[in-house]
Amino acid sequence: MSLLTINKLTSSVGAEVIGVQPERLVDDDHLSAAVLEALEDNGVLVFRDLHLEPTDQVAFCGRLGSVDFSSDGHHEVAGIYPITLNSAKNSAASYLRATFDWHIDGCTPMGDECPQKATVLSAVQVAERGGETEFASSYGAYDLLTDEEQQRFGALRVVHSLEASQRRVTPDPTPEELARWRARPTHTHPLVWTHNTGRKSLVLGASADYIVGMDLDEGRALLTELLERATVPDKVYRHNWSVGDTVIWDNRGVLHRAAPYDPDSPREMLRTTVLGDEPIR
């Protein structure tokens, strides 16, 4: 029997985990193994009203894999990164507006780092309006293709860039902004990711710029169509945050985005990222 009591939140993505004490996430080996298994099965796990301490959040993530400490300096606890549009709390806040578009984290790394394995967000303050986080399964995105499409798209390669994702929210960048975006190398990924488990997913989202060898507009139209099909409302879990909620997602198997919220909103999420070890191939 599983150690976790879980209720599915939609038919395709998301499950709520009931009755877990924060301490057990930190000190119970069997529980962290069960969390990883439930994450693979459900894409997103929701722990309502958990009130996880930042240090415990980092310890919990350390049981799931290697914690990303590379963005330290934004919060007093190592391994915690505040997500807020308030630039007083996060100097990189302006980049975060790109979270309003569907995306997969880590498709355009500085080097050849793999996309993150999992991400945890805990709500410290919530927006008065908007600011929900939405999730859709990228495994589901592949599974809903016809057999013929699965065949055909298996050969396609897509160029991803930071510029593509930033342009969606800042269409008229200054030359300085453009230079900063372009300092990040572009990455070419297969459209269909065959995971170590054998499962397949589509690699879509804001960073996906164009399809190699296809007419630019035609390729972009295809990327848009695939994203739309993957994120129709009945395939989406939308998390409406309350202070104290913790949500974890499988970044290799879901697309996510934030519903727009006011930049002056107090909304603040504390994020911890578990590093990935599986290249997109």
Q: How far is the CB of 27 from ligand OGA (least distance, A)?
A: 26
Q: How far is the CB of 33 from Mn ion (least distance, A)?
A: 25
Q: Which among 109, 136, 125 has a CA at the least distance from the CA of 201?
A: 136
Is there binding between residue 68 and Mn ion (CB under 5 A)?
no
Q: Which residues pair with 236 in a beta bridge?
A: 136
Q: How far is the CB of 86 from ligand OGA (least distance, A)?
A: 13
Residue nearest to Mn ion (CB): 105
Give the count of beta carbons closer than 10 Å to the beta carbon of residue 55.
Answer: 14
Binding mask 96-135 for Mn ion (x = CB under 5 A): ---------x------------------------------
Is there binding between residue 16 and Mn ion (CB under 5 A)?
no
User: Of 209 and 219, which has the nearer Cβ to Mn ion?
Assistant: 209
User: Of 208 and 258, which has the nearer Cβ to ligand OGA?
Assistant: 258
User: Of 31 and 237, which has the nearer Cβ to ligand OGA?
Assistant: 237
User: Of 107 and 121, which has the nearer Cβ to ligand OGA?
Assistant: 121
The count of chain residues that interact with ligand OGA, using the rule CB under 6 A, is 10
Q: How far is the CB of 279 from ligand OGA (least distance, A)?
A: 20
Token pair, residue 97, equals 């507006």
Q: Which of the choices Mn ion, ligand OGA, none does residue 189 contact, using the CB cut-off of 5 to 8 A by kind?
A: none
Q: Give dist(CA 175, CA 90) in Å, integer.
A: 23
Instruction: Give the binding site for ligand OGA (CB under 6 A).
Output: 83, 99, 105, 119, 121, 133, 256, 258, 269, 271
